[in-house]
């Protein structure tokens, strides 16, 4: 996949969503004649490997928090205890050294890859996907992010939405561009569409990191039990998008605690799930590794995730949040996500994990499915805060055009 000519670019990213964006940007750079190599500062860089982008051969580790901000206090302490902070510092230093053997470095994420790019003393570019003016109305970048981005080494700075572009252009005293978000390319099409239904389907996004994802799924299953019974509710399809790390025996044990049983899914039409969780007249179809299919096939998403939620908003889907106990999807993170993604995201009242929250979330689910204004709100939100497809291609063209 790598050409023998063209500029050599090192993509430095620091998190699951950042790796995903870096990988799609790298793929676009390669298509246009560049030589792209990934350097994940957190985790193993699976997104790069899946898209055929090589990564630097450094020792990697996987940690439960995986670089996500707005963590619980327990998550922060866990980072210190398990060595994630020290490991991140070590890998950042290594990345800055390796970047000096490339023609340019592309920082994807927040202040950490930006500083790495600046310290490399190479030509640099930045996709600042971790910060948005929607969080506070006016963005204040942590030191020394702003100072680094004012350097002449950074030829282009890309932001994640239109509001941030205008805000940062003024605050940095330089041009900042919004060309879309590369991570949206990850769900451009559905590889194996879910079976069509004559009634709505609700998708469940419990997250990608264990054991939190299983705990999140348990909260979602408890919420579903608060839905009104037939005939008031009407037919409703349910589909859970699960990561491959969630094992069948663990899933069955967690579900059984609330009276759900695991069984083979009888309809065997193309694209259907092989297994489902059943409780009374409710059935949740289980899909491993088919995240994009669940997104495209659902009219609404119940989400306890970061980048996955942003992808759903980019596809013009309404989001119903369920804050959890962390270490990632805490109430603080959920509230920040609502500020970032705006009116397409709703959240029930009540403490995380409480019966009150489950009941209000179930109530909101039925309201959103019946609200005729929701599609228009989601369309406007998607274009303003996520952008359209093609962000990877547009950024790659700008980057390579600056190096030629």
In a domain, 1, yes or no: no
Name the pLDDT band for 268 (thresholds 50, 70, 90): low
In 3D space, the residue among 132, 92, 133, 84 whose CA is nearest the CA of residue 113 turns out to be: 92
Q: 314 with 205, same domain?
A: yes
In a domain, 191, yes or no: no
| Residue 72 confidence (pLDDT) above 60 | no
Phi then psi dihedrals of residue 154, to 5 deg: -85, 105
Q: 87 with 216, same domain?
A: no
Q: What gap in Å lies between CA 62 and CA 378, rounded to an integer? A: 34
DSSP annotation of 182: G
Q: 351 with 251, same domain?
A: yes
Q: 211 with 259, same domain?
A: yes
Cα separation values, 194 from 185, 221, 266, 318, Å: 19, 21, 15, 18
Q: What gap in Å lies between CA 143 and CA 115, rounded to an integer? A: 10
pLDDT digits (tens, 9 = 90+) for 201-247: 999 999 988 899 999 999 999 999 999 876 666 789 999 999 999 99
In a domain, 258, yes or no: yes
pTM (two decimals): 0.87
In a domain, 195, yes or no: no
Quickly list H helices, 152-247: 162-172, 212-224
Q: What gap in Å lies between CA 82 and CA 89, rounded to an integer? A: 14
Q: 156 with 211, same domain?
A: no
In a domain, 370, yes or no: yes
Asked if 398 contacts 28 with a C-beta cutoff of 8 angstroms, the reply is: no
Q: 129 with 212, same domain?
A: no
Q: 222 with 180, same domain?
A: no
Q: 272 with 286, same domain?
A: yes
Q: In this structure, what CATH number is given to the domain that contains residue 344?
A: 3.40.50.2000
In a domain, 106, yes or no: yes
Q: 176 with 213, same domain?
A: no
In a domain, 192, yes or no: no
In a domain, 99, yes or no: yes
Range of the domain at 74: 8-185+389-403
Q: 130 with 226, same domain?
A: no
Q: What gap in Å lies between CA 142 and CA 149, rounded to an integer? A: 12
Task: Concatenate the DSSP letters of all residues of 335-353 into one string.
Answer: HHHHHHHGGGEEE-SSSTT
Number of structural domains in the chain: 2
Q: 237 with 318, same domain?
A: yes
pLDDT digits (tens, 9 = 90+) for 111-132: 999 999 999 999 999 999 999 9
Name the pLDDT band for 325 (thresholds 50, 70, 90): confident
Name the pLDDT band for 137 (thresholds 50, 70, 90): confident
Q: 209 with 330, same domain?
A: yes
Q: In the structure encoding, which two tokens stand for residue 342, read together?
A: 């705006």
């Amino acid at each position: 996949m790598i050409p023998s000519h063209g500029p050599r670019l090192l993509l430095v990213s620091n998190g699951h969503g950042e790796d995903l964006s870096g990988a799609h940007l790298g793929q676009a750079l390669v298509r246009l004649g560049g030589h792209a190599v990934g350097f994940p500062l957190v985790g193993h860089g699976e997104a790069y490997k899946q898209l055929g982008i090589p990564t630097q051969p450094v020792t990697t580790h996987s940690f439960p928090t995986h670089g996500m901000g707005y963590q619980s206090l327990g998550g922060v302490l866990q980072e210190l205890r398990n060595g994630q902070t020290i490991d991140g510092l070590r890998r950042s230093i290594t990345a800055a050294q390796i970047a000096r053997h490339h023609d340019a470095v592309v920082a994807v994420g927040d202040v950490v890859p930006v500083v790495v790019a600046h310290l490399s003393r190479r030509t640099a570019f930045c996709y600042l996907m971790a910060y948005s003016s929607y969080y506070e109305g006016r963005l204040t970048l942590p030191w020394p992010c702003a100072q680094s981005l004012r350097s002449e080494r950074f030829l282009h700075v890309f932001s994640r939405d239109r509001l941030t572009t205008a805000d940062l252009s003024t605050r940095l005293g330089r041009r900042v561009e919004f060309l879309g978000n590369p991570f949206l390319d990850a769900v451009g099409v559905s590889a194996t569409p879910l079976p069509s239904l004559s009634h709505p389907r609700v998708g469940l996004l419990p997250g990608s990191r264990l054991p939190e994802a299983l705990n999140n799924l348990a909260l979602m299953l408890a919420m579903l039990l608060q839905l009104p019974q037939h005939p008031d509710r009407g037919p409703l399809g349910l589909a859970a998008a699960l990561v491959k790390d969630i094992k069948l025996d663990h899933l069955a044990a967690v579900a059984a605690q609330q009276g759900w049983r695991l069984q083979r899914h009888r309809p065997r039409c193309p694209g259907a799930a092989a297994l489902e969780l059943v409780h009374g007249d409710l059935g949740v179809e289980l899909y491993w590794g088919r995240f994009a299919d669940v997104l495209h096939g659902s009219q609404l998403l119940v989400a306890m995730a970061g980048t996955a939620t942003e992808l759903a908003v980019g596809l013009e889907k309404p989001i119903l949040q369920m804050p959890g106990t962390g270490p990632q999807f805490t109430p603080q993170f959920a509230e920040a996500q609502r500020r970032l993604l705006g009116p397409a995201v709703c959240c029930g009242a009540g403490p995380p994990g409480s019966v009150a929250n489950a009941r209000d979330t179930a109530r909101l689910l039925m309201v959103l499915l019946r609200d005729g204004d929701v599609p228009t709100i989601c369309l406007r939100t998607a274009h303003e805060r996520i952008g359209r497809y093609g962000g990877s291609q547009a950024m790659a063209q700008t980057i390579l055009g600056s190096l030629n």
